[in-house]
Each structure stands twice: as C-alpha cells, then as structure tokens.
C-alpha cells in the first residue's frame, strides 16, 4: 500500500542505511503521490542523489506529481547546481511545472545574496548553456538579472 511504502522510506532513516539512495530516487516515480512526496522529502533532507537524476524524472515520467517532486529536488539543490534546472523548467510541456519554475527562479534571485559562493567553471558552463537554450523564455528584466548574477 502507498502508506506502507511511504512509512518504509521514513523508517529507513532510523535504521542506519535501511534505504539506499537508489531506492529513494526510484520512489520519486511511484504512481502514488504520497510515496513520491515522501521520497522527495527524504532525498532533500539527506541530500541524496544528483540534481540530474531528479531532472531525468521530470523529463521521463508521466505522473505530474512525480515531475513536481523531482523538479523540487533539482531546484532546491545548491545555489549554482540548481540554476540550470530552474531555467530548463521554463521549457517543459507541463504548465504547472513552468509556473513552479518561475516561482523557483524568483526565489533563487531573491535569495542570491544569502550565500557568497562562486560557481565552478563547470557549473558556470552549464548555466550559460541553460541561458542560451532557455533565456528567450524569460522576462527580459529577469534575464538581465540572471546575466548580471552569473558574469
């Protein structure tokens, strides 16, 4: 049952490795929203898996709740890793997910100065690629801010 699968994900945290990162990330694609949400919570709390794995779920799964939870996982990653996924979220077919991407970008921009880290060269390259691919979907004022913050 979904309740049991969600409980198993939560209990795994108490069992010192009772649930693997692979199992948590696979549960993002569960057809039941409760299980997918619990997997998202565990993955976020435990910083499980790369943002790219969450993004793969966004692109490949058919369940809207799984897309939403996976997008949150990618968008709530570290400051510079999350930005390309937030920008790419503006191009997905799902209208609710595009709206979520707009909110995530607004939050990213408003919280920019809370952390003074600089992007690595590889992170900066991924951001530039995302801006090149998806920048035309952004409001011009927002795009100028993204350019300014990522120089």
Alpha carbons within 13 A on the beta-carbon side of 28: 31
What pLDDT was estimated at residue 109?
Answer: 93
What pLDDT was estimated at residue 121?
Answer: 92
CA–CA separation, 42 and 75 (whole Å): 15
What pLDDT was estimated at residue 78?
Answer: 85
- CA max distance for the chain: 49
What pLDDT was estimated at residue 104?
Answer: 95
CA–CA separation, 117 and 31 (whole Å): 38
By the 8 A CB rule, do 20 and 48 touch? no
Q: Which residues of the chain have pLDDT under 70?
A: 1-2, 4-19, 46-50
CA–CA separation, 32 and 63 (whole Å): 9
């Amino acid at each position: 049952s979904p309740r049991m699968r969600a409980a198993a994900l939560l209990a795994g945290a108490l069992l010192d490795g009772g649930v693997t990162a692979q199992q948590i990330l696979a549960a993002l694609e569960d057809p039941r929203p409760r299980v997918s949400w619990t997997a998202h919570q565990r993955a976020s709390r435990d910083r499980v898996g790369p943002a790219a794995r969450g993004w793969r779920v966004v692109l490949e799964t058919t369940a809207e709740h799984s897309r939403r939870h996976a997008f949150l996982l990618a968008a709530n990653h570290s400051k510079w890793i999350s930005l390309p996924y937030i920008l790419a979220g503006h191009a997905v077919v799902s209208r609710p997910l595009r709206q979520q991407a707009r909110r995530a970008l607004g939050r990213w921009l408003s919280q920019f100065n809370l952390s003074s880290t600089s992007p690595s060269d590889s992170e900066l390259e991924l951001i530039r690629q995302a801006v090149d691919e998806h920048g035309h979907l952004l409001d011009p004022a927002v795009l100028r801010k993204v350019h300014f913050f990522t120089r």
